[in-house]
Every structure is written in C-alpha cells, then in structure tokens.
C-alpha cells in the first residue's frame, strides 16, 4: 500500500498550509529556508503566527468549498499543522491538488477510539480502554478496567482538555458531565462521546517523531522525555534517559504506525513507559509536535524541514543529533521573561508572534543545548 512517488516540487513552489498556529509558522520558516513559499488557510488566519511569515493567507471556513478550490488551485501541494481539519475539507482539496497527510490518516488521528483500535490491530499495546456513550457506559467500563481511570472525549481534546480522572469512590456520572455533551459537528465520520482508559502509573512519558516520504523512506528522531504541567507540555528532554531497549521499542512502534498509516509527512507518537520498561501508546499526531521543537536547534534537519521535504517529494534530511537538548515551553506570562532569555548565552529563544498572553497559551519556547552524552 505505497503511494505513487510524489512529483518532486522544486524550490520556488508554494506549499499550502491548513491551520495558522505556531506549527504552521515554524513549517513556513523551514520552507522559506529551502526556497519554498507558504500559503496558509484557516478561519483564524488573519494576523496569525503563521500568516505573519507566509507569502499569502486565506481567511475562510473549513466548509467554504469555493475558497478551498481557489486555494488548492493556487498552491502546488497542501499539508497541515492541525489534525482536526475536517476530513471532508481534505477530500475536497484532493480533487485539485495533493494533500499530505491524507484523509485516511486524519480519520484515525482525529478520534481516540479509531486511534486505539488502529494501534491495537497492529499488535501494539495501549492502556486498556472502552468506548463510552453514556454515564452508564462509564460506570461499566470502570467496573471492568479498575477503579483508577481517565475519561476522555473521543475528539478534539488537547493540552489535557476534555478529560476527567476517575478514582475509587468518584462518581462516573459527574465525570461524564464534565467532559460535556459529545460534539459531532464535523464530517469526519468518527465516533462521538467518550473513551475510558485505565490509569497508567508510568515511569515517564516519551514521544518519538517519525518522518516518512512518499517513497516509503523513513527516519526517526530519538525518543524524548516529556514532562507535563497542568496537562500542558512543560519540558522535553532529548534524548530520553531510558533503557536502550525501551528507546528501541518506542522507535519500532512509531515506525510501524507510520508505515501502517502509509503516512507522508511527520508523525508524533506519545507513549507511556511502564515501571518494567515496556511502552504503551497514548496518542499520536500526524504533524510536527511540541516535543520535536528541540530538533530546530539540535539536529541536522528539524521536524519542520522534514515535513517540507516529505510533502515536496524531496529526499528526507538527516535526523542526526548534534547536541543533547532541553526544551522548555513558554506558557502565558512565561513569555514576559524574554529579556532575560535573550540575554542568556546559548539559550535559543523562539517566540510565536502571539499578541495576547492568555493563561495556558503557548507563546514560545526556549531550547538549551548540551554536549552529546
């Protein structure tokens, strides 16, 4: 199930980008470095982090078929920085141009039930889980899986949003009420409602970022450790300080998933490391990922450059790590520390051009490099 090789787009071509946040911005910067232009499309593109650095921006809805057609005809290929772009949008764009990653990948990644079913079907382990469409389903799942669980909305969750922890003695109905009525407002064909997962007492959390070209060539960055604060990624340590066998297994799993998805582009796989050194897949995102930002400063080619290379039919770049790294997110008011960070020798500061520092909002990040261990 391999795609026909993508036509090779020469520098000067224009990449269409669905989504206008910092991931789109950093992809556009990487594209510009290689001589490509980027045209961003999003309902909220006006003045966005991506639009500030793109050659063109279209501000229009995901269901605006005319605007989508004009956009598709004005670019040479399309990619995305947000996996929740409606599948119908991507199907429409595909009538006029190539879109990678494609609709099959999105329908898996947009929905936690589809995602876990896909991963388990490959023989890859996750936490135990059950679908839940009502408070009764939640109670039944908790009775089967064990008292400590996490209830998550199947769709649209990010940064720990749309989740409720369930412990011994907690009320499943209350948990069900907090994740809210299922939103099934898009044409993605996914499941609505919730998923109950067994709570994993992990030793640490890691992620692996894989890049895959249209010819099936693959490369993977080393597993990195991710520490979260209030459900939001706080620090990434690259590489993760885990047993070599655990790192190898995490990489094998990520490559296997990218291959099975027939992915063209970048895939981030988040995993839990168990106290015994095994891995369980938590979730995945078919786009550059916050836990891969360190690659901009510490690797021969960044995750963003790799996305450009993959979707333009170019050879993949080297994932060689020239330094170890620690990336710290700047969330909300953290970004006010910019004068101090600018003055710190060796600190690689990245700011996303967001005007308003709302609590919980990713404003930028800083990467510090260390000699390779």
Ligand X SMILES: Nc1ncnc2c1ncn2[C@@H]1O[C@H](COP(=O)(O)OP(=O)(O)O)[C@@H](O)[C@H]1O
Residues annotated in the binding site for ATP, as ranges?
112, 152, 157-163, 197-200, 205, 228, 282-283
Site for ligand X in 245-274 (CB under 6 A): 270
d(C-alpha 59, C-alpha 38), whole Å = 14
Report, in Å, the least distance between residue 323 CB and ligand X: 26
Among 81, 283, 297, 324, binds ligand X (CB under 6 A): 283
DSSP letter at 101? S
Which residue lies nearer to ligand X by CB, 91 or 159?
159
At CB < 8 A and 24+ separation, what contacts does 271-275 make? 271/205, 271/206, 271/207, 271/208, 271/223, 272/127, 272/200, 272/202, 272/205, 273/202, 273/203, 273/204, 273/205, 273/206, 273/242, 273/246, 274/200, 274/202, 274/203, 275/201, 275/202, 275/203
Closer residue to ligand X, CB minimum distance, 127 or 327? 127
Residue of the chain from 127, 132, 141, 263 that contacts ligand X (CB under 6 A): 127
- Cβ neighbours of 358 (radius 10 Å): 10
Candidate ranges 136-144, 155-163, 252-260, 286-294; the one touching ligand X (CB under 6 A): 155-163
User: Please, which residue, 270 or 324, has the CB nearer to Mg ion?
Assistant: 270
C-alpha dihedral, 258 to 75 to 295 to 239, nearest 10°: -10
Q: If binding is defined by CB under 6 A, does position 131 make contact with ligand X?
A: no
Which run of H or E residues covers position 240?
Answer: none
CA distance between the termini of the chain: 39
| Binding residue positions | 112, 152, 157-163, 197-200, 205, 228, 282-283
Please, what is the minimum distance in Å from the beta carbon of residue 109 to ligand X?
A: 11
Q: Is residue 159 at the binding interface for ligand X, with CB under 6 A as the rule?
A: yes
Cα 48 to the center of its chain, rounded Å: 19
Strands of 19-148 (E only): list them: 37-42, 56-59, 77-80, 129-132
Please tell me the count of residues contacting ligand X according to CB under 6 A. 15
* Residue of 128, 160, 189, 216 that binds ligand X (CB under 6 A): 160
Candidates 26-34, 242-250, 269-277, 351-359 — which segment interacts with Mg ion by CB under 5 A?
Answer: 269-277
Q: 200, 272 in Cβ contact below 8 A?
A: yes
Question: Quick check: helix, strand or coil at residue 268?
Answer: strand
Cβ proximity to ligand X: between 93 and 233 the closer is 233
Burial profile 193-227: b = 16 or more Cβ within 10 angstroms, e = fewer: bbbbbbebebbbbbbbbbbbbbbeebbbbbbbbbe
- The DSSP call for residue 372 is -
CB of 219 to ligand X, least distance (A): 24
Which of 128, 131, 157, 182 is close enough to bind ligand X by CB under 6 A? 157
Site string for ligand X, 221-250 (x = CB under 6 A): -------x--x-------------------
Would you state the torsion angle of the CA atoms of residues 104, 316, 69, 14, taken in this order, to the nearest 10 degrees? Answer: 170
Q: Of 10, 35, 134, 158, which lies in the binding site for ligand X, with binding defined by CB under 6 A? A: 158
From 197, 251, 297, 324, residue interacting with ligand X (rule: CB under 6 A): 197
Evaluated on CA atoms 111, 113, 114, 115, the torsion sign reads positive
- Residue (186 or 270) nearer to Mg ion, CB: 270
CB atoms within 10 A of CB 10: 12
Between 161 and 372, name the residue whose CB sits nearer to ligand X.
161
CB closer to Mg ion out of 83 and 186: 83
Q: Between 159 and 262, name the residue whose CB sits nearer to ligand X.
A: 159
Residue 200 as a binder of ligand X (CB under 6 A): the answer is yes
What does the alpha-carbon distance between residue 168 and residue 148 come to, in Å, rounded to a whole number?
6
150 binds, among ligand X, Mg ion, none (CB under 5 to 8 A by kind): ligand X
The contact set with ligand X (CB under 6 A) reads 127, 150, 157-160, 197, 199-200, 205, 228, 231, 270, 282-283
């Amino acid at each position: 199930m391999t795609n026909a090789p993508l036509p090779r787009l020469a520098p000067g071509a224009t990449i269409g980008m669905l989504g206008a946040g910092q991931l789109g911005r950093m992809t556009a910067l990487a594209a510009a470095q290689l001589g490509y232009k980027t045209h961003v499309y999003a309902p909220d593109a006006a003045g966005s982090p991506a639009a500030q650095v793109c050659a063109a921006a279209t501000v229009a809805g995901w269901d605006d078929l005319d605007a989508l057609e004009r956009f598709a005809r004005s670019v040479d290929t399309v990619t995305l920085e947000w996996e929740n772009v409606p599948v119908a949008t991507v199907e429409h764009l595909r009538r006029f141009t190539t879109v990678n990653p494609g609709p099959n990948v999105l329908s898996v990644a947009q929905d936690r039930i589809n995602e876990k079913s896909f991963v388990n079907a490959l023989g890859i382990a996750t936490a135990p889980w059950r679908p839940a469409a009502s408070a009764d389903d939640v109670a039944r799942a908790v009775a089967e899986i064990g008292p400590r669980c996490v209830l998550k909305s199947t769709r649209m969750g990010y940064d720990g949003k749309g989740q409720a922890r369930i412990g011994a003695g907690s009320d499943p109905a209350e948990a069900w009420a907090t994740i809210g009525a299922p939103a099934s407002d898009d044409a993605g064909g996914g499941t609505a409602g919730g998923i109950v997962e067994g709570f994993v007492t992990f030793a640490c959390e890691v992620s692996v970022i894989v890049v895959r070209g249209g010819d099936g060539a693959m490369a993977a960055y080393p597993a990195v450790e991710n520490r979260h604060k209030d459900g939001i990624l706080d620090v990434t340590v690259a590489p993760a300080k885990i047993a070599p066998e655990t790192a190898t297994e995490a990489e094998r799993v990520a490559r296997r998933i990218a291959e099975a998805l027939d992915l063209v582009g970048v895939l981030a796989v988040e995993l839990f490391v168990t106290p015994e050194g095994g891995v369980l897949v938590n979730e995945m995102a078919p786009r550059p990922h916050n836990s891969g930002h360190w690659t901009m400063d510490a690797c021969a080619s960044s995750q963003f450059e790799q996305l450009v290379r993959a979707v333009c039919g170019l050879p993949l770049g080297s994932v060689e790590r020239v330094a170890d790294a620690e990336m710290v997110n700047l969330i909300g008011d953290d970004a006010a520390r910019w004068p101090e960070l600018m003055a710190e020798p060796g600190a690689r500061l990245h700011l996303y051009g967001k005007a308003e520092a709302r609590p919980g909002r990713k404003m930028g990040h800083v990467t510090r490099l260390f000699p390779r261990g």
